[in-house]
Amino acid sequence: MRKRQTHLKKGMQKAVLSASLLLCGTVAMAQSQKSGVITDSNGEPLVGVTVMEQGTTNGTVTDINGRYTITTKKPGAKLKVSYVGYEDRVIAPGQSVRLKADDKTLNEVVVVGYGTMRRKDVTSSITTVDAKDLNTGVYTDPAQLLQGKVSGLVVSNTADPSGTPSITLRGASTLRTGEAQEPYYVIDGVPGVDLSLVSPDDIESIDVLRDATATAIYGSKAANGVIIITTKKGKKGRTNVTYSTYMAFDRVSKKLDVMTADELRAYAKANNFELTNDEGASTDWQKEVEQTGFAHNHNVSINGGNDKTSYNASINYMNREGVVRGTRMNRVNGRALVSSNVLNDHLKLSLGLNASEGHFRSVQMGNEGASVLDGMYYYSPCDPVYNADGTFYEANGISQYYNPMAMISQDRFQHIRRRYQITANAVATIMPGLTWTVNYSYMNHQNMFSGYNSVYSQLVKTNGQASRNTYQGHKQVFETFGNWTKTFNKKHTVGLMAGYSWEEKTDNDGFGVTVYNFYNDDVSWYNLSYANEINGIDGVTSGAEYTLRMISFYGRVNYSYNSKYNFQATLRRDGSSAFGRNNRWATFPSVSAAWRLSEEDFIKNLHVFDDLKLRVGYGVSGNSLGFDAYSALRTYGASGWFTYIDANGNAALRRTLAATSNANPDLKWEKTGMFNIGLDFSFFNSRLSGTIEYYDKRTSDLIYDYPVSTNRYPYGTMTANVGKISNKGVELTINAVPVKTNDFQWQTMINLSHNKNNVEKLSNSQFSVKYIDEANPRIAGFSSTNSIQRIMEGQPLGTFYTWEFAGFDENGKSLFYEHDEKTGERTGKTTNAPQEKDRAIVGCAQPDLTLGWNNTLTYKKWSLNMFFTGVFGNDVYDCTRAQYNTVSNVAAGKNVLKEVASSQHFGDGYAQAPSDRYLENGSYLRLSTLTLGYNFGKIGDWLQGLSVYATANNLFTITSYKGLDPEVSLGGIDPGMDYRWSFYPHTRSYMIGLKVNF
């Protein structure tokens, strides 16, 4: 037995020894060291290529000779080879391989008017921003997502929940305001769609068409550029349910440094006068009016599909409480789209429904003191918020002086905006390369306003006043177009597009009523019949409904030789009922070409460029936005009353009618011609790429209301085409991947743009004006006499034209330079009482340079994004600082800035006078967004993805500007104005959010 056990033991030992030797051999084989060489398609070694063992964190990078050396850990290991600008490969350990250049970027699809193109075949200036690259923050308007992301696109944001951003592309090119200044928006192929119908979570990408060769296909509405938004669609595969949410807190980023109650009293004592309304209080009015804002957003989307049908539906809810009490909004957006292929996949049918309803609460923001934003600065801290009985304190005998907390509570306003849209689309594939598309869209909008001034209102002394109005309209768009593409001999590619559009817009259908004298505030605006009085027919307002129609014919031809030489021409013919009967049709052509130099042998042999393309083009587009059907017609309106006595001697009041505009049968489109030349480049295996552009944009036939003689015309102004404006600029965009390792990557993008604006012409032989005064800051004592900007020939929009501050005299009073009335030059003298002749050009609101700089750092599943924005070389007029340097305000019972005590003489009546004293450098550099995120990836079988993030907006700003914030509107015809009564405080936001994919 013992012998048998001994033999068994020896056998087991041999077996264990054999197994150990086998295991060691296997491990040795598995962990064997292997080497190989990675080269490009030309056999040149690639340095820094990542070589990873699949399924592990084991990896290495190639050396200067393109050689990698790796010790694998698993039997049968495979290596994944990846490098920026090249397609990934999977190889065996020790294998050498040539990587093929990745043409993903060059072959990515770019949305153009009525079609798509490959990026490498594009001949125009088009920038694409994917959803992942859009701004992160509490935004109520999709345009805010683009701030700093596109070279030449200047966006000025606002923190007002009811506000909209100012947006300008390649400089202002019209003398009109509002819609006429904005880009034209196209959403999912439907032109002219209201942006409120799209929530940021629904956006897949945004394409910005910057030059006229890209925009001319949209003709008469594209002079300010075109922004094409593509929303997310359903895809083949499993049903995906995605929920995303965030909540955010807002704080005012900077407070105005006004005097405290003790400082006011000390100032009064030092200057030997008594405050007229010192109630013994010590109120911080900014603290009373402002609050911590809170916002939360929720978005749920469901999408999926199969071989035949795809679907997508989403609902978004947003709620935002502003940092000024009484300002808030909430909005619900819904979108649904279903698409199906029929007729053996030769016909694709799509049906969509989009809807939005937003409720916006706002406070009084008028001028002449009737503004909460103004009142929280001028109201004396010596006055209390409330009386002893709990009612709001009111000071009598002080002009334009209203308790801001009372205005918030007693003067309330609400806007309700409803939008819905139905879309239908059919795309027929007639034969390979030939498709025909039919689109139809019906959009309806309704705007409702409600306002109520309490029976205790300090603004409206009518024992309670309620106003309500509602206006609505609808728009139909029908478009049909065909696209044909054919490649001959594998090198010659021809593309043709031809189409027809019909559009009808009906708007301004509505009415309103104002009533007053209520018993109490119980029903506010909800039951107007409870009022006791209405001011007759003057208490009723009405819109003048109009219908505009436009029809268009358009086409495009493209030619590409082996993606080396590319040519494009477009032509659009528009007819609109908005213009005079002699000029209702216009033609908008464009032509452009591109030469991919990187495909030429003499460039390839340099071994420098991965891609190099030269683009050049010229196109014409128009601006018909902002017009109604009566713009070119003579119109009449109610002008007053007269007493009518009938045949029986009965007297009654009747309306008088008078002309309200003159007819101009020659009124026509504003036209913008733009020359553009651009160079696209890529180096270092596409780790460094970019674009540089130069453009010359000239707009003619500017529309303005010119004064005319009432001896010749029934009305005192004529809407006519006269002026010219030019914009010339340079834009640079750089994309780079400075660092890329196995686990860490740094991507950076910077864009810079410079634009020079100039008013070339304002007058002709028939209609003339020497200049146009704009931008009245309404400074105390000067509100009716001084605009501080002047539009004139040879100068840009936003030219500041006002007095020049020369310091102080021996008595501490303000001095200003005198100017010769004929020459406009300084006389060398100064004065305490400047005249109109002493005004001069002192600055310009147009920036020399705008910047956007994005940095994304990723480490494994972590990501950190830092986004900077900047504006440089522009002037901003600090209306707030000028107004609150009014020394006489203190004696009148109002508050002023602390600097008054140290920098102003008490008897200086011109301390606040509009002059370049308050014209400041508006340059700034801002850390606009800082986001830290973590992507958990797939969790189990039921959670397909989970990511969380934290974002801070407006963390710091580097600037010398003394006002609240240098970011003011740079669009319109009065840029660079920091209006105190309507400037909503900028905020610093802190946000946390998550996205879950089930």
Taking the C-alpha atoms of residue 566 and residue 557, their distance in angstroms, rounded to an integer, is: 11
Question: For residue 370, what are the β-bridge partners?
Answer: none
- Closest to 210 measured CA to CA, from 733, 609, 566, 683: 733
Q: Does CATH place domain 105-234 in 3.90.1150.10?
A: no
User: If you count DSSP H runs as helices and E runs as strands, how many of each does the chain have, helices first?
Assistant: 11, 51
Ramachandran region, residue 179 (left: φ > 0; alpha: ψ -120 to 50; beta: rest): alpha
Taking the C-alpha atoms of residue 801 and residue 843, their distance in angstroms, rounded to an integer, is: 8
| pLDDT at res. 25 | 44
Distance (Å) of CA 217 to CA 13, 212, 560: 86, 9, 19
The tally of CA atoms less than 13 A away on the side-chain side of residue 563 is 14
Taking the C-alpha atoms of residue 880 and residue 899, their distance in angstroms, rounded to an integer, is: 13
Cα(first)–Cα(last) distance of the chain, in Å? 66
Phi, psi at 289, each rounded to 5°: -80, -40
What one-letter code names the amino acid at 8?
A: L
Question: For residue 616, what are the β-bridge partners?
Answer: 593, 677
CATH architecture of 33-102: Sandwich (2.60)
The whole-number mean pLDDT for each consecutive block of 10 residues of the chain, a chain of 998 residues, reads 42 42 41 83 80 84 87 87 80 88 67 84 90 88 90 91 91 91 92 90 92 92 92 87 95 95 94 90 97 96 92 96 96 96 94 96 92 96 96 92 96 96 95 94 97 96 96 96 93 95 96 96 94 92 93 96 94 94 94 94 90 95 89 91 92 92 94 96 90 97 94 94 96 94 92 97 94 92 83 96 95 94 93 93 96 95 95 96 93 94 90 95 96 90 89 96 94 92 93 94
33-39 sheet: strands from edge to edge: 67-71, 33-39, 97-98
| Both tokens assigned to 837 | 């002749």
Taking the C-alpha atoms of residue 830 and residue 454, their distance in angstroms, rounded to an integer, is: 50
| pLDDT at res. 942 | 80
Question: For residue 867, what are the β-bridge partners?
Answer: 854, 929
Q: Within the chain, which residue ranges are assigned CATH 2.170.130.10?
A: 105-234
Q: Match 């030769």 to its residue by tokens.
A: 346
What one-letter code names the amino acid at 835?
A: Q
| pLDDT at res. 470 | 96
0.85 exceeded by the pTM?
A: yes
Angle, alpha carbons 61-64-66 (nearest 5°) = 60
- Closest to 73 measured CA to CA, from 35, 27, 34: 27
Taking the C-alpha atoms of residue 759 and residue 175, their distance in angstroms, rounded to an integer, is: 10
With 0-12 CB in 10 A as exposed, 13-18 as middle and 19+ as buried, what is 811? Answer: exposed
